Amino acid sequence: MTQHASLTAERWSRFSLDQQVLMIANEMHRASALQGAGDRASLERAYERVLRLLDLTVAVQRKRTLRRELLRWRDLVAALFIGSDAAPASHRETLHALLLLRPAAARQIPLLFG
């Protein structure tokens, strides 16, 4: 069982959208440390956590346009998950795109990317 597996949509919906996006970004940032470490299983588990939180966010999101953007972003993470090798540049671009979805998250870009 992966972390967050028991997290319900009801509980997740209590967090603001900014908090949800930041928590997803936090999991992506954790996965950054696994890039190139040679531990594909740990990297896959990290992406599973990202996808789980993202799926919860989509499930509780009422705005169709934002749901659509989140699902597009999900495709990027899914491609990283099923990719045969770790792609640090793609990972960074995917994390950057997520952070651009919310102003509160976008403020983290200089801290993460310089």
**What pLDDT, in 10s, does the model give residues 63-86?**
999 999 999 999 999 999 998 666
> Taking the mean position of all CA atoms in its chain, how far away is CA 101?
12
User: How far apart are alpha carbons 23 and 25 in whole angstroms?
Assistant: 5
- Does some domain include residue 4? no
Q: What is residue 1's predicted lDDT score, i.e. its pLDDT?
A: 47
Q: Is residue 1 part of a domain?
A: no
Q: Please report whether residue 64 resides in a domain.
A: yes
What are 107's two structure tokens?
């403020």
- CATH number for the domain spanning 81: value is 1.20.120
3 is a domain residue: no
Q: What is the pLDDT of residues 55-65, one digit of tens each?
A: 999 999 999 99
Please say if the pLDDT value at position 49 is more than 70.
yes
Q: Report percent pLDDT > 70 for the chain.
A: 92
17 in any annotated domain: yes
What average pLDDT does range 90-96 have in this prediction? 95
Single-letter amino acid code for the residue at 89: A
Helix axes 64-82, 88-99, angle to 10 degrees: 170
Separation CA 42–CA 108 (nearest Å): 25
Count of structural domains, the chain? 1
The whole-number pLDDT of residue 114 equals 83
Residue 31's domain comprises 9-113
